[in-house]
Chain A
Amino acid sequence: DAKTTQPNSMESNEEEPVHLPCNHSTISGTDYIHWYRQLPSQGPEYVIHGLTSNVNNRMASLAIAEDRKSSTLILHRATLRDAAVYYCILKRAAGNKLTFGGGTRVLVKP
């Protein structure tokens, strides 16, 4: 599986947007970009995924660079509940395993 690179941690103020970058320069044409997050003492939780076009859902937005070598997860208004470790993962097909890296730990300050 192609590797992703994320910052170790980020801080944000409550109700402000959070932009989480992810580099994946070795991405292949069939790799989907997935984002999961893990809240304290819980299992990972699906956030969003995309292939080429930007994607929006109720939780977040995913902006994918035109060359697909990087992407950004956008939390539009961070809440204290969004404090978690966010993982950017490349995956070939729907049924394949997830390969977790270190992720980005997001701290939300009130």
Chain B
Amino acid sequence: EAGVTQFPSHSVIEKGQTVTLRCDPISGHDNLYWYRRVMGKEIKFLLHFVKESKQDESGMPNNRFLAERTGGTYSTLKVQPAELEDSGVYFCASSSLAGDHQYEQYFGPGTRLTVT
């Protein structure tokens, strides 16, 4: 079974540009989460989808960040326009709504975003 995948693995953009990160969760997982770690800080929650609906977006830093999950499958996280402080590693995770493993979040390898 494929794990959570994220694309790209690394992105380097200039300040003011737009970047879109993609996450493909484990097939069948209705919960999808975005987290990020900015330089020197702890991993922070951004938002949580249940299927295509935003369940909790309390961690989104500002309106330059837009997350979507059309159709309840893969998700995208767009940063527009990117600022220097957005640099960091963005992680996606997924989990099932029920069953023996519902308490486990499965993380992808992350996308390293560098804004110059």
A-side residues, CB < 8 A to B, are 32, 34, 36, 41-46, 49, 91, 94-102
Contacts and interface: CB of A to CB of B under 8 A. Distances in A.
A43 B110 contact: yes
B31 to A, nearest CB: 5
Nearest to A93: B103
Nearest to A99: B45
Q: Closest 6 CB pairs between A and B?
A: A43-B107, A100-B43, A97-B45, A46-B104, A94-B102, A44-B107
A45 B102 contact: no
Contacts of A102: 42
Contacts of A46: 104-106
A99 B95 CA distance: 16
B91 A43 contact: yes
B84 interface: no
B13 to A, nearest CB: 21
